Amino acid sequence: MLTSIIATHGWGDGPGPWILVFPLFWLTVLVLAIVWFRRRGPFWRQPSTGRSVLDERYARGEISADEYRERLEVLKEDRR
């Protein structure tokens, strides 16, 4: 009863100023998404990060577990 009164009379004609919230919301999402992907680098570059090269070398037995851990620490250090 009350809601129908508001719907038909309370807000007058057309949407109020709150409608602006929707485009603003989506714009924010878009900007955040772009920033996020930019920081990660393009997805096809993913396999060549230092970490994955290290993973692969460890898997191939080129470096021992100790060397792997040691170099992982260095990578983290360099990234800050």
Among all chains, which residue has been given the structure tokens 């949407």? Answer: 15
Q: In whole angstroms, what is the distance from residue 21 CA to residue 38 CA?
A: 26
Q: Which stretch binds another protein (CB under 8 A): 3-11, 14-22, 30-38, 58-66?
A: 58-66
Residues 26-55 that bind another protein (CB under 8 A): 47-48, 52-53, 55
Of the pair 17, 61, the CB lying nearest another protein is at 61
Three-point CA angle 74, 76, 80, nearest 5°? 115
Of the pair 30, 59, the CB lying nearest another protein is at 59
